[in-house]
Amino acid sequence: MKVFLETYGCQMNEYDSELVRAILSKHNYEFCATADEAEVVFLNTCAVREGAQQKIYHRLNDLKNRRQSGKIRVLGILGCVAQSLRKELSETIPLLDIVAGPDSYKKLPELINTVLQQGGQGFEFSLSEYETYDDIVPARVAGVNAWIAIMRGCNNFCTFCVVPYTRGRERSRSPHSIVAEARKIVSEGFPQITLLGQNVNSYQCDGKDFADLMEMMPDVAGLRRVRFTSPHPKDFSRRLLHVMAAHPELCKHIHLPLQAGSDHILERMNRTYTKQDFLTLVAEIRQVLPQVSLTTDIICGFCGESEEDFAHTLDVVEKVGFDSAFIFKYSVRPHTIAARKYPDDVPDEVKTGRVMRLNELQRNISRQRNEAEIGKTFEVLIEGPSKKSPHEWYGLTEYNKGTVFSAPDKKPGDFVQVNVTAAGTHTLLGRLV
């Protein structure tokens, strides 16, 4: 039977889709490139913001006719929306055959069989304290970057965030199995690995913390680049900075989610750090890793955010000078503490206005920071053709800067030296050295 699997959301979801591919391939399912060819269709979904969730409803609407006519025999929802809206989905969308949360993927073959043989709907959303899928080798798509989920779940309960409810409690995968998988990945030709976790700082297994794990990675022969995402500012280990500084394989890029700049809002968000804590951490990071690139996530218009609160966010953004930032409008998420405790009282147009102002500030900063790279030479790992011009390559520097250049004799996966000749907000342009 042919399966079509569509993935929404973060890198963890991409990784989970690779797990699902591996699990179903073992049971002789074949994967195809479009929903038109498939008898089984799964959407692996994201619930982190309302917009992401709306996309899923629209997509289900698109697929409705094919399910009704029987061309699609099994239509299922996986991932965070499945977990978060399990009841509503099963009741309001009778066309759905399967709803399975992030800890239930090993049960998918059985669920599909039951639905096909007995009809009815198959639901599975128990969250596990132990499931790390460390016994499944993900079906990776050949390319330059491979992911490894080193921990799953989150115990932080930031009040705006649905993730602790969709992905359950934190659990870490053994360092031994992570390193063994990294060796296998490198032997398959991937030069770069990204370690994934909702909060990598919480990694803890067999007496090793995240800094210990990062220190083990460069021992994997042939592994040229290691990245990770995301740490939480509250428990960022200073030792990790020294480990990063000591090993050229560990890329000097940190995605450090700020979320908000005002102490009042940070407290309401349960982020457990202050504006000053964040600024002090950034100063310490730059002291140990002077060239580090810093990126962030920010939410505008969280419950009770006044103009004065927002001014603190602008101030942090200006003071830190992030290389880039993902800026989001707050949306209420089901189950969260904020949904229960605080009214969503910032008018939509005010939220939108703040997102626009912050984006404009960040665009200027990004451009300035990129322009400062002109004249410097960086090692770039070629990922593939540039979007704008098929005759040029796109790749990342170790500092996570997208770089476009021409190099007719090179190919994806090659490491090249590129001299930066021009810079925009999002990309550097360069010439092969």
The residues that touch ligand 5AD, with contacts defined as CB under 6 A, are 48-49, 160-161, 257, 259, 297, 299, 328, 330-331, 333
Residue 298 binds ligand SF4, judged by CB under 6 A? no
Tokens read off for 385 = 């053709």
State whether residue 413 is helix, strand or coil.
coil
Smallest gap from Cβ 326 to ligand 5AD, in A, equals: 7
Q: Which range, of 58-66, 117-125, 153-161, 176-184, touches ligand SF4 by CB under 6 A? A: 153-161
- φ, ψ of residue 85 to 5 degrees: the values are -115, 30
Tokens read off for 259 = 């979320």
Q: Are the beta carbons of 275 and 310 closer than 8 angstroms?
A: no
Residue nearer to ligand 5AD on the CB measure, 248 or 343:
343
231's CB contacts (< 8 A; 6+ apart) are 199, 200, 201, 210, 240, 254, 255, 256
Q: Is the peptide bond before 230 cis (omega within 30 degrees of 0)?
A: yes
Residue 295 binds ligand SF4, judged by CB under 6 A? no
Q: Which does 164 bind (CB under 5 to 8 A by kind): ligand 5AD, ligand SF4, none?
A: ligand SF4
Residue 157 binds ligand SF4, judged by CB under 6 A? yes
Residue 313 binds ligand SF4, judged by CB under 6 A? no
Smallest gap from Cβ 202 to ligand 5AD, in A, equals: 15
Tokens read off for 406 = 């021409």
Residue 326 binds ligand SF4, judged by CB under 6 A? no
Residue nearer to ligand SF4 on the CB measure, 38 or 269:
269
Among 150, 158, 213, 281, binds ligand SF4 (CB under 6 A): 158
Count of alpha carbons within 13 Å of 57, Cβ hemisphere only? 11
Among 232, 255, 268, 333, binds ligand SF4 (CB under 6 A): 232
One-letter amino acid identity for 379? Answer: E
Q: Which does 85 bind (CB under 5 to 8 A by kind): ligand 5AD, ligand SF4, none?
A: none
Residue 13 binds ligand SF4, judged by CB under 6 A? no
Residue nearer to ligand 5AD on the CB measure, 132 or 331:
331
Smallest gap from Cβ 394 to ligand 5AD, in A, equals: 24
Residue nearer to ligand SF4 on the CB measure, 301 or 413:
301
For ligand SF4 (CB under 6 A), the number of binding residues is 10
- The DSSP output letter for 36 is G
Classify residue 195 by burial, with Cβ atoms within 10 Å: 0-12, 13-18, 19+.
buried
Residue 244 binds ligand SF4, judged by CB under 6 A? no
Q: Are the beta carbons of 203 and 175 closer than 8 angstroms?
A: no
Q: Which range, of 64-72, 117-125, 157-165, 370-378, touches ligand SF4 by CB under 6 A? A: 157-165
Render 304-355 in DSSP notation, one character per residue.
T--HHHHHHHHHHHHHHT-SEEEEEE----TT-HHHHHS---S-HHHHHHHH
Q: How far apart are CA 238 and CA 30, in angstroms?
A: 46
Place of tokens 């990204």: 194
Smallest gap from Cβ 115 to ligand 5AD, in A, equals: 32
Q: Which does 232 bind (CB under 5 to 8 A by kind): ligand 5AD, ligand SF4, none?
A: ligand SF4
Longest Cα separation, the chain: 66
- C-alpha angle 343-158-57 in degrees, rounded to nearest 5: 70
Residue nearer to ligand SF4 on the CB measure, 102 or 122:
102
Q: Which does 330 bind (CB under 5 to 8 A by kind): ligand SF4, ligand 5AD, none?
A: ligand 5AD
Q: Which does 399 bind (CB under 5 to 8 A by kind): ligand 5AD, ligand SF4, none?
A: none
Place of tokens 């391939």: 25
From the list 296, 290, 427, the residue with the least C-alpha distance to 362 is 296
Residue 161 binds ligand SF4, judged by CB under 6 A? yes
Smallest gap from Cβ 323 to ligand 5AD, in A, equals: 16
Residues 192 to 221: which contact ligand SF4 by CB under 6 A?
A: 198-199
- C-alpha angle 322-212-223 in degrees, rounded to nearest 5: 75
Classify residue 182 by burial, with Cβ atoms within 10 Å: 0-12, 13-18, 19+.
buried
- Return residues touching ligand SF4 (CB under 6 A): 154, 156-158, 161, 163-164, 198-199, 232
